[in-house]
Amino acid sequence: MKEYEVVHEILNECARNQMRDIFIEEIEIPEGAFEEYIRRKHKDKEIEMRREDLADGNVRYFVQTSGIEQIYSFTEI
């Protein structure tokens, strides 16, 4: 198990509100179990994901679910 800081951004597509909802938490999950973590957060929903591995070792997922674009960023603590 490894400890990660997760930044979850929900992008707002409303024309008058371009702010993002941002949630930050510390989690402990098995190494590389990022997709499982995201799927648990969106259980019973169909989701599309795209993974991006950053040069600094962080991992970012771009997620589409229910017409909402979201980003999950994982940083090892």
> Where does 1-77 show beta strands of DSSP type E?
2-10, 21-29, 47-53, 59-65, 68-76
Radius of gyration of the chain, Cα coordinates, nearest whole angstrom: 13
| Count of domains forming the chain | 1
**Tokens for 37?**
């973590």
Q: What is the pLDDT averaged over residues 53-70?
A: 93
Cα→Cα distances 20→12, 17, 55, Å: 6, 9, 25
Q: Is the separation of the CB atoms in 18 and 41 below 8 Å? A: no
Domain limits for position 11: 2-76
Q: What is the pLDDT averaged over residues 17-33?
A: 85
Each residue's pLDDT tens digit, 45-61: 899 999 999 999 999 99
pLDDT at 17: 63
pLDDT at 61: 97
Mean pLDDT of the chain: 90
Q: Is the pTM of this model over 0.85?
A: yes
